Amino acid sequence: MAHELIYSVVSDLVQRLELREPIVEFGSMQVEEEQPGDLRPLFAGRHFIGTDFREGKGVDRTEDLRKLTFADGEVGTAVCLDTLEHVADPIAAGRELTRVVSPNGGICLISSVMLMPIHGYPSDYWRFTPEGVRVLLADFDDVDVATMGDPTIPFWLFGLASKGRQLGLRLAQLPSLADSQRRYEEADGMLTIGPFRTGLRELGGELRMQLPRIVRQRAARLSRR
């Protein structure tokens, strides 16, 4: 779901925002075969460079986000999706993204997870709040941040920033994000448990697995009284 939402957000932006070339994806390795991780079809016919800190599927060039080899202002559009939580020094990465994006209308899009289990690729270091995303993009001229999920502990965060121009749109108004947030809030046919949404079938499965343990524990406590 996360990757489908992110892919849709990028698709929405391609249709609504002038994105200068080259378009450079930072963290382009396609590690989940079953998820839509290849952004190239969205930028067909345009100069697209996929980068990651190691070689692999979807990687045209290896780069360390903490010290990029791109020249100042060389990147027209920087795309960094669900990657910064895997960078040991995200503040340095934010500075580098700011440095390499063109001052003449350049754009930077980032996303990251918050309410998400620890995961590899190969290491997982950080979780960001909306204000944390703003800090990473603080030196751009116009910055917008949006979340998906519970406002107090969202599942995903998105940041969009520009240099030398105003964005002219807000992430929360993109159809993909607006629709995803609306479905989350409506929770149609689902139970709301804190920030989570679960169906009755999934809840029934959890109860079947956990009720015997709970009954045994309660019985043991009663027998000790």
Per-residue pLDDT, 121: 80
Instruction: Give the gyration radius of the chain's Cα atoms.
Output: 20
pLDDT in tens, 50-68: 999 999 999 999 999 999 9
The residue behind tokens 């989570």 is 196
Residue 140 CB burial class (10 angstroms; 0-12, 13-18, ≥19)? buried
pLDDT in tens, 6-27: 999 999 999 999 999 999 999 9
**What is the pLDDT of the chain when averaged over all its residues?**
95
Q: Distance between CA 88 and CA 65 in Å, rounded?
A: 10
pLDDT in tens, 149-169: 999 999 999 999 999 999 999
Confidence of residue 36 (pLDDT cuts 50, 70, 90): low
pLDDT in tens, 206-221: 999 999 999 999 999 9
pLDDT in tens, 172-210: 999 999 999 999 999 999 999 999 999 999 999 999 999
DSSP bridge pairs for 157: 112, 147
Q: Are 155 and 148 in contact (CB under 8 A)?
A: yes
Is the predicted pLDDT of residue 33 greater than 80, yes or no?
A: no
Q: Distance between CA 208 and CA 43 in Å, rounded?
A: 47
Per-residue pLDDT, 219: 92
Is the predicted pLDDT of residue 1 greater than 50, yes or no?
A: no
- Domains belonging to the chain, first-starting first, are 2-186 (3.40.50.150), 191-223 (no CATH)
Tokens of 163: 């240099």
- In terms of pTM, does the model score above 0.95? no
Separation of first and last alpha carbons in the chain: 48
Per-residue pLDDT, 79: 98
Is the predicted pLDDT of residue 2 greater than 50, yes or no?
A: no
Q: Distance between CA 171 and CA 181 in Å, rounded?
A: 12
CB burial string 3-26: b at 16+ within 10 A, e below: eebbbbbbbbbbeebebbebbbbb
Inter-axis angle of helices 2-16 and 175-186, to 10 degrees? 140
Confidence of residue 29 (pLDDT cuts 50, 70, 90): very high
* % the chain with pLDDT above 90: 92
Span 117-135, average pLDDT: 94
Span 85-99, average pLDDT: 98
Per-residue pLDDT, 225: 79
Pairing of strands 142-150, 153-162: antiparallel
Higher pLDDT: 1 or 118? It is 118
